[in-house]
Chain A
Amino acid sequence: MRCLYIFNRNGMCLHYHVWLRSLMTLSPQQDQKLMFGMLFSLNSFTAKIDPVSSGKENNPPCSFYSFRTNTYKLHFMETASGIKIILLTDPRIGDLREALMHIYSNIYVEYVVKNPLYSPGQPFRCELFNMALDHYVKTLQ
């Protein structure tokens, strides 16, 4: 695992966690903004280029769930409520869609959304979330 981002529907980065990142060329703010912008463009690109369905009617618009470069792989999921979870990993890692869903359902919802001290829509770094995330990520490696 390299790092994790969680954005909400308004493009606010709720959480940014770095496990391993030897190269940091941008400030965290610039980095997050660039990441969100890329996701936004890529999502609208994948939907517009879709040769199969129009994205209207009952079909949800298509989306991507990962891409890979020679040095890293980016895994992505988005919920109907606009929560976007992004994991950057080693390029050799396989499909992590289930892992992203697990992070959303069992860690984000349980320890952030259900934490009475959390104000919805605000960035967070609560201890229980961090602990549960670290614990879970270790099981993936």
Chain B
Amino acid sequence: MAPAKPGDAAFANVDHVNAELFTLTYGAMVRQLLTDFEDVEEVNKQLDTMGYNIGIRLIDDFLSKANVTRCSEFRETADVIAKIGFKMFLGVTATVSNWNADFTECSLVLDDNPLVDFVELPETCQGLYYCNVLCGVIRGALEMVSMRTEVKWARDMLRGDDAYELRLKLIEHVAEEYPYKDDD
């Protein structure tokens, strides 16, 4: 039976692992980082950096399998991330909402979040954005398709909010420029 949505097709198109193995590995790594740094802000930063490094590779994995040939417009790209990107890698989707007037900022509300299965945070990690790796991944991937962005958590259920909401802000489109000087 042919999958109905492009996201489903993309998810069917890649190799899978049991989510448990992934979720436990991510959780153990965050705990180790918390032990090593003792500073929650620093852990947030490390997770974001790791995500960025993952994102700049993941973009080609995504483009090669998702049958997306061009992401030139931010509005359309946000939809692609929500419906195909999240689905292809994490098996869930997100909803795009809360656009600002000039369509440079929006929210991605996750319909479900496999990263937090089995997670309970101890009192001592107040201020931790447990899923901060996702911000980095999106920022890194978008940078590779010429969009400089800022990605932050707006709501986080592990911090007592009622949803997982990422806020995306387009800073600039980086046009491709001729990289050589004429006389060298």
Q: Name A28-74 residues within 8 Å CB distance of B.
A: 33, 36-37, 40, 58, 60
When A9-B144, A105-B65 are in contact, do A79 and B178 touch as well, CB less than 8 Å? no
When A82-B146, A105-B65 are in contact, do A113 and B60 touch as well, CB less than 8 Å? yes
Contact B61 A109 (CB under 8 A): yes
Grouping DSSP codes into helix (H, G, I), strand (E, B) and loop, the A interface class, with mixed when no group exceeds half, is loop
Q: How many residues of B contact A (CB 8 A)?
A: 23
Residues of B within 8 A of A80 (CB): 63, 68-72, 145
Assembly CA distance A80 to B80 (angstroms): 13
B102 near A: Cβ within 8 Å? no
Contact B180 A11 (CB under 8 A): yes
Residues of A within 8 A of B60 (CB): 79, 81, 83, 104, 108-109, 113
Q: How large is the interface on A (under 10, 10 to 19, 20 to 34, 35 or more residues)?
A: 20 to 34
B64 near A: Cβ within 8 Å? yes
B interface, CB within 8 angstroms of A: 53, 56-57, 59-61, 63-65, 68-73, 76, 144-146, 176, 178-180
A-B contact pairs, 6 of them (CB 8 A): A10-B179, A11-B180, A33-B180, A80-B70, A108-B60, A120-B53
